[in-house]
């Protein structure tokens, strides 16, 4: 289209131009988000163990900030350079509207290390698709950038010429030619922008698949990083330890298949326990269920406290206080009563290796978490063949996350002998003051013991006045005989209630 202007007044009233404010060049950025100074500092701290190309950092910072920040502040489209404005929305901005984004944010928000792990996973997964878009539109983007620079220069020149033409009419033709060039440049920008958008739309099916895959991988990566910090550090947010140490821990988990499986299972179980505790009533902050009268200052209604705001109503407050007549919330609070100590005998024979071993150890350590929360002693007895026995004691306040990690990594991978762990459990009860201890036996049950030995162990258990619960990992082998059944107070079979049902039994008590 050829734009024609015949007068200065026509230029000033054209819908193509806006002269309501003085022309000012819009500073453009390669960022889609406006992060805070603290957010940028957290990013640079978190990316120390990784290596990234300089040109990749802007998008990585944007991704990190999307996952990490409590609230998002985005740059306006006109503030972004052309590639960020036209290409990145296809692989990043659409991420925010996806259902999995909230799940990803749950693991990442406020945790720089987990956010960095998720950001670099998403970036490495999506970069090929983004590069394909860049390659497809490279020439057009270059032309668009040149046109936008030219447009900015013409706008500045036109504003100057109009001011001169208003004082010197002889310069009106020059202003008209500048306006025509500016209008023509604007039309070219719209055409090129449309061509780039068409190419992006043609790539949309492949882009959608890439975004979905990148999001799923990021969720898994963030979840694993979150679980690793939650399970194997003394600070579940990982804020008290260095980024390098967190990175080394995660690398250790990733390269140990057994530990990787335990971390995923234990992290999920700890999340379950955390949710249960949040829904519980807390002493002093119980559930409000009614209004009553009294003088419990911490539960008063705000209207009663307002009486103290004026010297005229303060005496009324004092009279009601003395008469226990102040309106206050009535709360119900759950009272927790501690149980006895727990000893878990965990079968680490070769027949349990794999999923059963990881799930069984995760359940044992989840029970340990319950004991720690309630101030109870816990012992984990690893057993396998005749001479394969190891005991880890977790006394309240006397162990570290490294002790838990050491217990998780241990695996005998031998035969099966039930006698040593039972005798060790009885020794703990009789000699190490594991008072009123319950014994949980986790095994796949592939071991036989003589009737004579079974009677001896049964008598010893009765003398110790402890209860034994057998957890039989018999999935795929329902109805199999269990040699410890004679002296187990209760037998729980995975084949009957499944692993989820078993977790409900042990974690929701």
- Please say whether the beta carbons of 322 and 314 come within 8 A: no
Query: Rounded CA gap, 155 and 10, in Å?
Result: 16
pLDDT band for 436, please (50, 70, 90 cuts). Answer: confident
Nearest to 137 by CA among 84, 95, 77: 84
Q: Tell me: pLDDT of 287 over 70.
A: no
Mean pLDDT for the stretch of residues 387-408: 92
Angle at which helices 257-279 and 243-254 pack, to 10 degrees?
120
Looking at residue 16, what is its pLDDT? Answer: 75
Looking at residue 235, what is its pLDDT? Answer: 67
Which backbone phi and psi does 433 adopt, to 5 degrees?
55, 40
Query: Rounded CA gap, 202 and 133, in Å?
Result: 10
Mean pLDDT for the stretch of residues 430-458: 77
Structure-token pair, residue 443: 């095994």
Q: Compute CA 423 distance to the chain's CA centroid, rounded to the nearest angstrom.
A: 42
Mean pLDDT for the stretch of residues 256-274: 93
Which backbone phi and psi does 274 adopt, to 5 degrees?
-65, -40
Burial (CB count <10 Å: 0-12, 13-18, 19+), residue 199: middle
Structure-token pair, residue 249: 């821990």
- Please say whether the beta carbons of 117 and 63 come within 8 A: no
Looking at residue 14, what is its pLDDT? Answer: 78
Looking at residue 116, what is its pLDDT? Answer: 95
Mean pLDDT for the stretch of residues 419-426: 86
pLDDT band for 247, please (50, 70, 90 cuts). Answer: very high
CATH class of the structural domain 342-507: alpha beta
382: left (phi over 0), alpha (psi -120 to 50) or beta: beta
Q: Tell me: pLDDT of 336 over 60.
A: no
Higher pLDDT, 445 or 250: 250
Mean pLDDT for the stretch of residues 425-446: 84
Burial (CB count <10 Å: 0-12, 13-18, 19+), residue 326: buried
Domain ranges, ordered by start, for the chain: 8-208, 287-332, 342-507
Radius of gyration of the chain (CA): 34
* pLDDT tens digits for range 462-488: 776 778 888 988 876 776 777 777 778
Looking at residue 351, what is its pLDDT? Answer: 86
Residue-wise burial string across 428-446, b where 16 or more C-beta atoms lie within 10 A, e elsewhere = bbeeeebeebbbbbbbbbb
3 state DSSP class of 147:
helix
Structure-token pair, residue 264: 């995923």
Mean pLDDT for the stretch of residues 267-294: 73
* pLDDT tens digits for range 93-139: 778 878 889 999 989 999 999 999 999 999 999 999 999 999 999 99
Query: Rounded CA gap, 88 and 196, in Å?
Result: 12
Mean pLDDT for the stretch of residues 187-191: 92
Strand pairing partners for 329? 291
pLDDT band for 182, please (50, 70, 90 cuts). Answer: confident
Lowest mean pLDDT among 384-388, 459-463, 469-473: 459-463
Looking at residue 298, what is its pLDDT? Answer: 80
Looking at residue 23, what is its pLDDT? Answer: 65
Query: Rounded CA gap, 132 and 206, in Å?
Result: 10
Lowest mean pLDDT among 59-73, 180-194, 440-454: 440-454
Looking at residue 334, what is its pLDDT? Answer: 47
Angle at which helices 419-431 and 451-464 pack, to 10 degrees?
20
pLDDT band for 303, please (50, 70, 90 cuts). Answer: confident
Q: Which residue has the tokens 């500092």?
A: 41
Looking at residue 333, what is its pLDDT? Answer: 52
Looking at residue 282, what is its pLDDT? Answer: 44
DSSP letters along 129-163, please? HHHHHHHHHHHHHHHHHHHHHHHHHHHHHHHHHHH
Looking at residue 386, what is its pLDDT? Answer: 82
pLDDT band for 267, please (50, 70, 90 cuts). Answer: very high
Query: Rounded CA gap, 378 and 247, in Å?
Result: 29
Mean pLDDT for the stretch of residues 50-63: 90
Query: Rounded CA gap, 68 and 62, in Å?
Result: 10
């Amino acid at each position: 289209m050829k734009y024609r202007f015949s007068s200065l007044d026509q230029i000033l009233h054209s819908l193509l131009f806006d002269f309501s404010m003085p022309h000012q060049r819009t500073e453009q950025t390669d960022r889609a988000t406006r992060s805070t100074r603290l957010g940028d500092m957290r990013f640079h701290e978190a990316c120390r163990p990784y290596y990234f190309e300089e040109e990749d950092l802007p998008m990585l910072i944007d991704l990190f900030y999307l996952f990490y920040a409590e609230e998002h502040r985005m740059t306006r489209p006109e503030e972004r350079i052309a590639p960020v404005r036209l290409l990145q929305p296809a692989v990043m901005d659409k991420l925010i509207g996806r259902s999995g984004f909230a799940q990803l944010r749950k693991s990442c928000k406020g945790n720089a290390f987990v956010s960095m792990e998720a950001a670099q996973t998403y970036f490495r997964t999506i970069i090929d698709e983004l590069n394909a878009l860049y390659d497809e539109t490279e020439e057009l983007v270059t032309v668009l950038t040149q046109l936008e620079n030219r447009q900015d220069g013409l706008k500045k020149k036109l504003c100057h010429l109009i001011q001169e033409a208003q004082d010197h009419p002889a310069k009106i033709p020059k202003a008209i030619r500048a306006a025509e060039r500016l209008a023509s440049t604007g039309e070219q920008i719209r055409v090129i922008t449309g061509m780039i958008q068409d190419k992006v739309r043609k790539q949309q099916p492949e882009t959608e698949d890439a975004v979905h895959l990148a999001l799923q991988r990021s969720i898994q990566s963030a979840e694993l990083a979150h679980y690793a910090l939650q399970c194997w550090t003394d600070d579940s947010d990982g804020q008290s330890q260095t980024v390098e140490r967190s990175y080394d821990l995660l690398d250790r988990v990733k390269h140990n298949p057994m530990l990787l499986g335990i971390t995923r299972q234990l992290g999920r179980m700890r999340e379950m326990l955390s949710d249960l505790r949040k829904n519980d009533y807390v002493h002093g902050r119980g559930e409000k269920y009614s209004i009553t009268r009294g003088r419990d200052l911490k539960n008063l209604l705000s209207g009663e406290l307002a009486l103290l705001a004026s010297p005229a109503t303060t005496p009324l407050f004092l009279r009601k206080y003395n008469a226990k007549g102040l309106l206050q919330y009535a709360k119900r609070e759950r009272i927790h009563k501690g149980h006895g100590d727990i000893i878990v005998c965990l079968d680490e024979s070769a027949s349990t290796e794999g999923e059963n071993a990881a799930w069984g150890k995760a359940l044992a350590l989840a029970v340990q978490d319950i004991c720690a929360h309630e101030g109870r002693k816990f012992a984990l007895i690893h057993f396998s063949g005749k001479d394969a026995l190891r005991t880890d004691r977790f006394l309240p306040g006397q162990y570290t996350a490294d002790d838990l990690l050491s217990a998780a990594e241990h695996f005998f991978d031998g035969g099966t002998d039930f006698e040593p762990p039972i005798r060790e459990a009885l020794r703990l009860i009789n000699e190490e003051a594991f008072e009123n201890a319950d014994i949980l036996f986790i095994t796949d049950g592939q071991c036989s013991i003589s009737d004579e030995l079974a009677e001896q162990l049964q008598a010893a258990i009765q003398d110790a006045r402890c209860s034994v619960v057998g957890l039989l990992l018999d999935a795929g082998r329902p109805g199999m005989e269990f040699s410890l059944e004679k002296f187990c107070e209760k037998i729980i079979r995975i084949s009957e209630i499944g692993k989820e049902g078993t977790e409900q039994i042990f974690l929701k008590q």
